[in-house]
Structure 1
Amino acid sequence: MAAAKIKKGDRVIVLSGKDKGKTGEVTQALPRDGKVVVSGVNVAVRHTKPTQGDPQGGLVRSEAPMHVSKVAHVTADGKPTRVRFETQDGKKVRVAVKTGEKVGG
């Protein structure tokens, strides 16, 4: 399996779909499915009936997973960039292609 280029905690921008141009932080990465959950993006609304546990019922909003190919890392100036792997000081690190700066921790 290939190494993950987008991980939990990364700042990303949506490249396509109804939320195109929105940015957010990856709250969950699902590498087996090739999907990520981004905060404030791809919000699904579910109508729930009143129950004993939730007597009010109503609308429940939650972020749904989206395919990892629809998002890209964001540089400091807010533009999307691809990520490549480089070896620095004997360690494999993620590097932004556009700026050359290290991505993540």
Structure 2
Amino acid sequence: MSIRRGDRVKVISGNDKGVEGTVIRVDREKNRVVVQGVNVRKRHRKPSATSPEGGIVEFEAPIHASNVMLLDPKSGEPTRVRSAQGADGQRERVAVKSGQAIPRAS
């Protein structure tokens, strides 16, 4: 999977199609990602010791990684990703549209 935590992505299918956001969490085993502000669900929680007030809690549910595309760092449009060897010999991700390396999110 070429998507990492901190990447800017755009949702290309589903209920939140067209929404851009930052990847919060990646689950490589299930091939799913959690994107900030995408696939927001509500859950009713009973009061407990950790949350004494309880109530309705909103959270981002994971979506399949095939439903998101990385954004090109140059143009900001969705792009496919290739793997290439950088000048220092390290493997890096390269945007297909612009040919520019995708920086590692810190």
TM-score, normalised with respect to structure 1: 0.88
Q: Aligned ranges for residues 84-103 of structure 1 at < 5 Å?
A: 84-89=82-87, 90-103=89-102
Give 3-state SS (helix, strand or coil) of 1:77's partner: coil
Corresponding residue for residue 104 of structure 1: 103
Corresponding residue for residue 56 of structure 1: 53
Misfit runs of 4+, over 3 Å? 50-55
Corresponding residue for residue 72 of structure 1: 69
Give 3-state SS (helix, strand or coil) of 2:66's partner: helix
Instruction: Quote how far apart the aligned CAs of 1:79 are.
Output: 1.5
Unaligned runs of 5+ in 1: none
Identity of aligned residues (%): 46
Instruction: Quote how far apart the aligned CAs of 1:47 are.
Output: 1.4
TM-score, normalised with respect to structure 2: 0.87
Unaligned runs of 5+ in 2: none
Q: Distance in 1 between matches of 2:24 and 2:50?
A: 27
Moved more, 52-61 or 5-14: 52-61
Aligned length: 102
- Of residues 38, 42, 46, the one that matches 1:45 is 42
Give 3-state SS (helix, strand or coil) of 1:69's partner: helix
Give 3-state SS (helix, strand or coil) of 1:85's partner: strand
**Root-mean-square deviation (Å):** 1.4
Q: Distance in 1 between matches of 2:5 and 2:79?
A: 17
Moved more, 45-54 or 67-76: 45-54
Instruction: Quote how far apart the aligned CAs of 1:52 are.
Output: 5.1
Q: Distance in 2 between matches of 1:21 and 1:13?
A: 6
